[in-house]
Amino acid sequence: MAAQKINEGLEHLAKAEKYLKTGFLKWKPDYDSAASEYGKAAVAFKNAKQFEQAKDACLREAVAHENNRALFHAAKAYEQAGMMLKEMQKLPEAVQLIEKASTMYLENGTPDTAAMALERAGKLIENVDPEKAVQLYQQTANVFENEERLRQAVELLGKASRLLVRGRRFDEAALSIQKEKNIYKEIENYPTCYKKTIAQVLVHLHRNDYVAAERCVRESYSIPGFNGSEDCAALEQLLEGYDQQDQDQVSEVCNSPLFKYMDNDYAKLGLSLVVPGGGVKKSPAAPQAKPDGIASAAPEEEEDEYSGGLC
């Protein structure tokens, strides 16, 4: 069966080459017919699982379409070549071709198809090169935003933000989440703005920037319904605990359902949040037993220090 498909593919390649030949009575290559034959060859090779040959046929089809000024069909062929490279586990090369296809879709005036191609490329490369995936998701979001398709744009920005958090690129993550929040505010999805404020605060606290975290909460008071919401109350409690170096209070907030059932990447940020100073509570601690042979001078000094009382 595979041998038959390979022979079929070779026959289509031979026909395509004939269509490209010129002569005394044929001055111009027949790019349209050649592209069609290359496409058929690619399908035959793909069915035979000869992905290298299928990829080459797709690339030749793309060039034939380009010569025929059929940009959309050329882009499709480049995208198909990329998918053949994916089958061969050559993911960076696959993404490169899909990016090329998306550029051609944009030139052709089909931004939706361009955005879908970029998103597909991001998914392909996400586990291999998260940094590249972030770039692709941000590009996709820009395409959707330019088309005023804000819901699709913000969804892709969310993917980028989560990858940035996962890679502990907190400065970039903070900016990305702010952009998400601005779009959710624009489309009047206020409850999601509250969730994005929680994400922002967690990111800023992991950056050790309490001031920025507090500012995020303060600025969110302008969002309808935020003041008085459970999100607002939890964040105020979190910031108070963090500021007071009260690890118990911080952990209690971060272990609440409101935080634990966020997107996994943000839930993990909450669970791993440690207050400055090692999380020592500002409350009297029970005296610790001293190993034998060590004088208990320090506790006596502490007693002297506070012997006059706190008032």
pLDDT digits 0-9 by tens, 126-160: 999 999 999 999 999 999 999 999 999 999 999 99
CA distance 118 to 130: 14
158-216 residue pLDDT tens: 999 999 999 999 999 999 999 999 999 999 999 999 999 999 999 999 999 999 999 99
What b/e readout covers 37-76, taking b as 16+ CB neighbours within 10 angstroms?
A: bbbbbbbbbbbbebbebbbbbbbbbbbbbbbbebbbbbbb
Question: What does pTM read for this prediction?
Answer: 0.83
pLDDT exceeds cutoff 60 at 311:
no
Q: Which residues contact 13 (CB under 8 A, 6 or more apart)?
A: 37, 38, 41, 57
Choose among 55, 56, 43, 110: nearest CA to 84. 55
Predicted confidence at residue 25, as pLDDT, reads: 75
Predicted confidence at residue 23, as pLDDT, reads: 79
Burial of residue 295 (CB within 10 Å: 0-12, 13-18, 19+) is: exposed
Task: Tell me the domains of the chain and their CATH numbers.
Answer: 149-275 (1.25.40.10)
pLDDT exceeds cutoff 90 at 90:
yes
Average pLDDT, the chain: 89
Predicted confidence at residue 114, as pLDDT, reads: 96
188: left (phi > 0), else alpha (psi -120 to 50), else beta? left
Average pLDDT over residues 267-277: 91
